[in-house]
Amino acid sequence: MDNNKIVVFDTTLRDGEQSPGCSMNTEEKIKVAKQLEKLGVDVIEAGFAAASPGDFDAVSRIAEQVEKSSICSLSRAVENDIKQAALAVQKAKMHRIHTFIATSPIHMKYKLKMSEEEVIKRAVYAVEYARTFVDDVEFSLEDAGRSEISFMKEVMDAVIAAGATTINLPDTVGYRLPTELGAMVKELSDFAANRAIISVHNHNDLGLATANTLAAVTNGARQIEVTMNGLGERAGNSALEESVMAIKTRRDAFKDLYTNINTKEIYATSRLVATITGVEPQQNKAIVGKNAFAHESGIHQDGVLKHQETYEIMRPEDVGVIKDSTLILGKHSGRAAFKDKITNLGFDTVTSEELNSAFEKFKILADKKKEVTDDDIRMLITDESLNQDKIYELVGLQISDCSNGVPTAAVSIKHNDEILIDANIGNGTMDAIFKTIDRLTGYSGELQSYNVISVTEGKDALAKVTTRVLFDESSPSFVGHGLSVDTMLATANAYVSALNSYLSQKERLAKNSEHQV
Pick 242 or 376: Cβ nearer Zn ion: 242
Long-range residue pairs from 35-38, CB within 8 A, at least 24 positions apart, any chain: 35/265, 35/268, 35/269, 35/272, 36/10, 36/12, 36/69, 36/228, 36/269, 37/66, 37/67, 37/68, 37/69, 38/262, 38/265, 38/269
- Residues that contact ligand KIV, how many (by CB under 6 A): 9
- Report the partner that residue 384 touches, choosing among Zn ion, ligand KIV, none (CB closer than 5 to 8 A by kind): none
Q: Among 167-175, 282-290, 367-375, 497-505, which window interacts with ligand KIV (CB under 6 A)?
A: 167-175
Residue 56: which region, alpha, beta or left (left: phi > 0; alpha: psi -120 to 50)?
alpha
Name the residue among 151, 125, 150, 127 with its Cα closest to residue 139.
Answer: 127
**Nearest approach, Cβ of 239 to ligand KIV (angstroms)?**
15
CB of 351: closest distance to Zn ion in angstroms?
A: 35
Find which of ligand KIV, Zn ion, none residue 140 binds, CB within 5 to 8 Å per kind.
ligand KIV
Residue 143 sits in the site that holds Zn ion (CB under 5 A): no
Could you tell me which residues are beta bridge partners of residue 75?
Answer: 99
Task: Give me the phi and psi of 435, to 5 degrees please.
Answer: -65, -40
Nearer to Zn ion, 15 or 55 (CB): 15
Q: Report the C-alpha gap between 196 and 322 in whole angstroms.
A: 40
| Length of the chain, in residues | 517
Based on CB atoms, which residue is closest to ligand KIV, 140 or 491?
140
Residue 142 Cβ, how far from ligand KIV at the closest point, in Å?
Answer: 4
Question: Contact at 8 Å (CB) between 355 and 339?
Answer: yes
Q: Which of 44, 488 has the CB closer to Zn ion?
A: 44
Per-residue contact flags (x/-) with ligand KIV for residues 139 to 158, judged by CB under 6 A: -x-x----------------
Closest CB to Zn ion among residues 136, 143? 143
Residue nearest to Zn ion (CB): 15
Q: How far is the CB of 201 from Zn ion (least distance, A)?
A: 6
3-state class (DSSP) for residue 327: coil
Give the 3-state secondary structure percentages of the chain, helix then strand then coil, rounded to 5: 45, 20, 35
Q: Does 172 bind ligand KIV (CB under 6 A)?
A: yes
Q: Of 13-42, which residues contact Zn ion (CB under 5 A)? A: 15
Q: Which stretch binds ligand KIV (CB under 6 A): 165-173, 305-313, 399-407, 444-452?
A: 165-173
Report the residue from 201, 369, 378, 464 that binds ligand KIV according to the rule CB under 6 A. 201
170 binds ligand KIV, rule: CB under 6 A:
yes
- CA dist 237 and 218 (Å) reads 19
DSSP string, 411-472: EEEEETTEEEEEEEE-SSHHHHHHHHHHHHHT---EEEEEEEEESSSSTTPPEEEEEEEE--
Q: Which range in 166-174, 249-257, 314-322, 421-429 contacts ligand KIV by CB under 6 A?
A: 166-174
User: Which residues of the shown chain bind Zn ion in the complex (CB under 5 A)?
Assistant: 15
User: Which residues of the shown chain bind ligand KIV in the complex (CB under 6 A)?
Assistant: 15, 100, 140, 142, 168, 170, 172, 201, 203
